Structures are given as structure tokens and as C-alpha cells.
Amino acid sequence: MNRSDTRYDPDATGPVPSRAEMERLPFRLGVGAVLFNPDGLVFAAQRADMISDAWQMPQGGIDAGEDPQTAVFRELEEEIGTAKARILAETPDWLTYDLPPELVPKLWQGRYRGQKQKWYALEFLGADSEIDIFKDPNPEFRAWKWARLSELADFIVPFKRGMYERLRAEFGHLAR
């Protein structure tokens, strides 16, 4: 995948789509990782490409011909520098979110209305010292922390809040 087309580009220009135009755009297929440490806390990282205080869990697109489970481990390796984890659970459904219309021209070259994602709860099997968000020459994140799953919806960008609340309901039994 060309990672440059997955970044937020604040300088990208293009028309802001109408509601009808948004509904005609497809969702980008992706995966997400709710990565639990031994204390039952979840990995969260602050995006490097946004001006706002945007935090999220690791997530990303599914490459052509790639299955979702392979994609989630690839995304962990790319975004946090390690894929030392094992799957504990997955969402039974694909979860979706729509971008705010003004962001559509700035993300994914305006091709998608948002994302349709399969989410996985994973147990982190490595040590904190193995997490390296700067491993990629163009890191996606500028900071990271372990947080309570119950708090994540409070510091996620507003348009993803509903999805994170759903993740809390799906995987809350794994948190401590």
C-alpha cells in the first residue's frame, strides 16, 4: 500500500461533498487493534499528522488480497514497531464511521466516505521497550500511552466516538 495516500493532508483541496455525494462514496476497508497490556490497559497513540490533539488505537487499511487478521498484525508492526500479540476476540460485525464532509478531500485522495473496519482485541506479548512508534521513517504517531478502555472515547476525534463506544461494549470484559 502507498502509505502516503493514507495520511491526512491539510493542504489538499477539493470540493466538500454534499450528503448525497458522500452516500455514493464507498467505505475504505480496514482493521483496528485494541491492544491490551498485562494490566488490562489499552494502547493509544497521538496522531503525528493532525494539528488537533487526536488520539487513536492502531488501525489501517487492508491491502489487496490480504485477510483482516494478517492486516491487523501488519498494521501493528508498521505503526508501533512490533506485532508481538495474540488475538483474544474480534468484533462480530464490521464497524463503520463517516468522515466529516470537510475531511473527505483531505484523506485518501477523496475516494472514501469513511472506513468499514474489522476490530480485534489483542493481548500484547512484548515489553513496552519493544514499542517503537518512530520505526517507520514517516511515523503515524508522535506519542503513545496505555489508557483505560473506558476513557478512550473521551479523547478520540468526535466522528469516531460512536465506534469507540461500541468497542468498549464489545471488549470491556477484557479490560481491568
Which of the residue ranges 23-27, 57-61, 167-171 would you say has the lowest mean pLDDT? 23-27
Average pLDDT over every residue of 154-159 = 86
- Above 70 in pLDDT, residue 157? yes
Q: What is the pLDDT of residues 26-49, one digit of tens each?
A: 999 999 999 999 999 999 999 887
Sorted by where each begins, the domain ranges of the chain are 3-174
The partner residues of 122 in beta bridges, in order of sequence, read 35, 87
Q: What is the pLDDT of residues 61-116, one digit of tens each?
A: 999 999 999 999 999 999 999 999 999 999 999 999 999 888 888 888 888 999 99
Q: Is the CB of residue 35 less than 8 Å from the CB of residue 43?
A: yes
pLDDT at 11: 60
Picking from 83, 93, 82, the residue whose alpha carbon sits closest to that of residue 163 is 93
Buried b (16+ CB within 10 A) or exposed e, 77-106: ebbbbbbbbeeeebbeeebebbbeeebbbb
Give 96-102's long-range contacts (Cβ < 8 A, gap of 24+): 96/27, 96/163, 97/159, 97/160, 97/162, 97/163, 98/22, 98/159, 99/159, 100/159, 101/16, 101/17, 101/18, 101/19, 101/22, 102/16
- What does R_g of the chain's alpha carbons equal in angstroms? 16
Which of the residue ranges 4-8, 17-21, 27-31, 136-140 would you say has the lowest mean pLDDT? 4-8
Q: What is the pLDDT of residues 122-133, one digit of tens each?
A: 999 999 999 999
Which of the listed CATH numbers 1.10.150.120, 1.10.3720.10, 3.90.79.10, 3.10.180.10 matches domain 3-174?
Answer: 3.90.79.10
